[in-house]
Amino acid sequence: MVDIAILGYGTVGSGVVEVFGTNQASINKKAVEDIRIKYILDLRDFPGTDIENLITHDFNDILFDDDVKIVVEVMGGLEPAYTFVKKSLLRGKSVVTSNKELVAKYGAELLEIARDKNINFLFEASVGGGIPIIRPLNQSLTADEIYEIMGILNGTTNYILTKMEKSNMSFDDALKLAQEKGYAERNPAADVEGFDACRKIAILLSLALGQHVDFEDIYTEGITKITKTDFDYAKTLDSTIKLLAVSKKTEHDVFSRVSPAIISKEHPLAVVNNVFNAIFIKGNVIGEVMFYGKGAGKLPTASAVVADIVDAVKHMQRNIMHFWSTEKVNILNNDDVVVYKFVRVAYNDFISAENAVKKYFPTSELIKLDSLNDEFAFITSFEKEIDITNKLNSLLKENGVAEIRNIIRVEK
């Protein structure tokens, strides 16, 4: 019998209890041990429910109970999660978490403690919800040098963009629906401003490189400026718009960013819709590989948490995770990253505005929508971000150009 404790009875915590309730016998069989939930730490009491007798309000009940071998942190946020997780590891308990904020900020330190104690710090559910991605990066793809990761890592924003594109919904209505369905973070900015995806790509890149990637070094832009009109343009380009987390490693540098991007409908990520996430990886041996599944929601996330609990039970005295060193990866400054950008230009004189665009972006072709008679769009050449920004600033001063209505990166 292995006793575990769950920290937090929110969406994911209650999902974990539900998964055990549904599949207890097969989970025990796979773990080759019976797993028992001994405590649930929460501020609330839940009187009259099945979990009433498991509830504690005092973390020390768990910390100092040596029968508890595995602590499952599903509270989210940095504190008190970090303090509880660190204390648990130092006390010799393995920890399973779904908390990407925690892993992105303290992963290197917590992995090191687990390695020193010969126990485990596992976090499959922190990226991609129910999609197995941490374990493949840790085990199956270790023969490869991974040189590109491109992912749709946030279910809420993918849901919103899908609803905007396919159901003609406004951004606000689609966000509200995502929140009602329990996909969104408590603070919607974490999803729609790209912060959640930023932490997730930092975790994947840290694992791929074996070195700490500071999420604060990753350029991050959300989807709040994306409109129906942008989707209309994307459609004429036989493309769609996704919030992409991108990391690429060349011989000389590594860059990473989170931003909306126009991608061709031919791209494998273009068909990833609704709350689904996908991670597209390129390795120098395996070539291209893609992971796909539900990236948010109670049960998909709980499924990944429980799989980690089983792994922790099976490897009680053996550390199985690669650790990544605390040494920081140098991420290329976003200004120096080379990109294509889609630009919407509003004009008060078409011919002058067209000539101005040709002056700065001579190879670009204008894109017009029949429904709009005061603007056109174009795609820049493949240039450094800073050079494009400087040229667009100059463009704005030219005769005929009224304003720039939106700028979206294009992934080719």
| DSSP 3-state percent helix, strand, coil across the chain (nearest 5) | 40, 25, 35
Strand order in the sheet with 94-97: 55-56, 35-41, 2-7, 68-73, 94-97, 121-122
CB atoms within 10 A of CB 67: 11
**Shortest distance (Å) from residue 159 CB to ligand HSE:** 7
CB nearer ligand HSE, residue 191 or residue 375: 191
Closer to ligand HSE by CB, 125 or 310: give it.
125
Residues 125-164, mask of contacts with ligand HSE (x by CB under 6 A): ----x------------------------xxx--------
Q: Kindly write out the interface string for residues 187-226 of this chain, putting x where it contacts ligand HSE by CB under 6 A and - elsewhere.
A: ----x----x------------------------------
Active site residue 86: no
**Rule CB under 6 A: which of 164-183 touch ligand HSE?**
183
* Type and span of the H or E element at 387: helix 385-396
Shortest separation between residue 40's beta carbon and ligand HSE, angstroms: 21
Number of residues near ligand HSE (by CB under 6 A) = 11
Q: Helical H runs in 32-128?
A: 59-63, 81-90, 100-117
Helices and strands (H and E) in the chain: how many = 13, 18
Question: Based on CB atoms, which residue is closest to ligand HSE, 196 or 311?
Answer: 196
The region, left, alpha or beta by phi > 0 then psi within -120 to 50, assigned to residue 11 is alpha
Give least dist CB 249 to ligand HSE, A: 25
Q: Does 15 bind ligand HSE (CB under 6 A)?
A: no
Sign for the pseudo-dihedral over CA of 265, 270, 272, 273 = negative
DSSP state of 360: H
Which of the residues 93, 100, 105, 200 is marked catalytic? 200
Residues that bind ligand HSE (CB under 6 A): 129, 154-156, 183-185, 191, 196, 295-296
- Give the residue numbers annotated as catalytic, written as ranges: 200
